[in-house]
């Protein structure tokens, strides 16, 4: 099945230039949902709260890039308005499920002295950029922090540029599955975008990637 799918794309084998950037990267930025983890966190939380189907439909649109990410995020959260107690209950009952091979890849990058930027994987908290939900004194949902760059379209690109400038990285790689991850591949941002399609294959994103992979083992083996 994977072979049939990957045959539709001509970027499953990296170019010499792409491989060089990957092997010599100073830092690698990872998307979390459907990349580091096998689930889309907001979809799982919505399903837990009884609004799974409607929210999942919005997620497909958001990840494909057909609507601004901030619009899709607000719309999805408004469908179920999770309280802080529901979020805590969800996290206790459904801990994150890690994608196969990601822990080995993170370890390999650290051995190669490449900085991984996603806590379960031993990545420092200061290296994590994430959306923040806002709650009132009684735990009621108030919204999300719009100051977080990851809350809007183009935000991941801005975060990557911020990371690069602050730490002086010469070569930086972005790995993810969605349109907002692809956006990070621009001057001043990521030098290489690797589309990970081991969980979700989004054709429009995959086709524009420098390198398309369906298994983290491909990335691990290329570092040998």
What are the catalytic residues? 31, 33
- Report whether 151 contacts 134 (CB < 8 A): no
State phi, psi for 103 to the nearest 5 degrees.
-65, -40
Give the count of alpha carbons within 13 A of 44, CB side only.
17
């Amino acid at each position: 099945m994977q072979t049939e799918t990957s045959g539709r794309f001509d970027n499953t084998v990296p170019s010499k230039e792409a491989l060089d950037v990957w092997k010599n990267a100073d830092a690698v930025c990872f998307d979390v949902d459907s990349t580091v983890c096998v689930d889309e966190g907001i979809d799982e939380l919505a399903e837990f709260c009884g609004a799974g189907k409607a929210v999942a439909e919005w997620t497909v649109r958001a990840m494909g890039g057909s609507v601004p990410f901030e619009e899709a995020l607000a719309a999805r959260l408004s469908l179920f308005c999770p309280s802080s107690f529901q979020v805590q209950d969800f996290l206790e009952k459904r801990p994150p499920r890690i994608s196969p091979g990601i822990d080995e890849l993170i370890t390999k990058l650290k051995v190669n002295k490449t900085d991984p930027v996603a806590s379960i994987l031993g990545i420092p908290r200061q290296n994590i950029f994430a959306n923040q939900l806002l709650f009132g004194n009684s735990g009621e949902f108030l919204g999300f922090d719009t100051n977080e760059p990851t809350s809007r379209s183009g935000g991941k690109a801005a975060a990557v540029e911020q990371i690069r400038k602050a730490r002086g990285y010469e070569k930086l790689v972005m790995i993810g599955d969605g349109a907002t991850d692809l956006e990070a591949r621009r001057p001043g941002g990521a030098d290489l975008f690797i589309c990970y399609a081991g969980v979700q294959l989004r054709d429009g994103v995959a086709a524009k990637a420098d390198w398309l992979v369906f298994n983290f083992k491909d990335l691990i083996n290329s570092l040998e």
